[in-house]
Structure formats: structure tokens, C-alpha cells
């Protein structure tokens, strides 16, 4: 991993949406100096989507590949 454990922080927040379904949000924060080591800087604009999302079969194939490599299933994070 390119970051030390003291250079990155992540949190999970959960809450109920307007339709009553639960949703989770990840908040990931990386220290400025850790980004600079990778040629990034904190003043860069947020990345945006530049094209169409890959087709559904692509996501399914990526998950199958993960299962074969790790031998375990992906699990939903419950809030």
C-alpha cells in the first residue's frame, strides 16, 4: 500500500434514505504529504466521470476473478 497507517483515515457512516432504505458512505482522508509522494497534490480538482460505465458483464467477470483469486465471497457491509 502506498500509504502508511498514520497517513490514511477512513470511516463508514450509515443512515436511512428518504425511501427508508439504509445507505452507507465511506469517508477517506489522506495526508497532503502522502499524496505529494505519488505526484498528486491536495489542490487538484476532484476526479469526474469521463465516459460511460462498463457493461454489467464486466462487473460480474471482475467479481468472479476476485473469487477465484481469494477463494472467498464478497460480503455486504451492514450498518
Delimit the domains of the chain by residue range: 7-45
Report d(CA 6, CA 37) in Å as an integer. 15
pTM (two decimals): 0.45
Confidence category of residue 69, pLDDT binned at 50, 70, 90: low
9-51, pLDDT tens digit by residue?
989 888 887 888 888 888 888 888 888 888 887 677 776 667 7
C-alpha cell, 35: 499524496
Q: What is the DSSP string of the chain?
A: --S-TTTEEEEEEEEE-TTS-EEEEEEEEE-HHHHHHTT--TTSPPP---SPPPPHHHHHHHHHHHHHHHSS---PPP-
Amino acid at each position: 500500500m502506498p500509504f502508511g497507517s498514520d497517513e490514511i483515515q477512513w470511516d463508514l457512516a450509515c443512515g436511512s434514505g428518504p425511501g427508508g432504505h439504509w445507505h452507507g458512505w465511506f469517508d477517506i482522508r489522506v495526508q497532503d504529504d502522502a499524496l505529494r509522494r505519488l505526484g498528486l497534490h491536495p489542490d487538484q480538482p476532484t476526479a469526474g466521470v469521463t465516459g460511460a460505465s462498463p457493461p454489467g458483464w464486466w462487473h460480474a467477470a471482475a467479481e468472479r476473478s476476485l473469487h477465484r483469486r481469494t477463494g472467498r465471497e464478497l460480503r455486504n457491509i451492514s450498518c
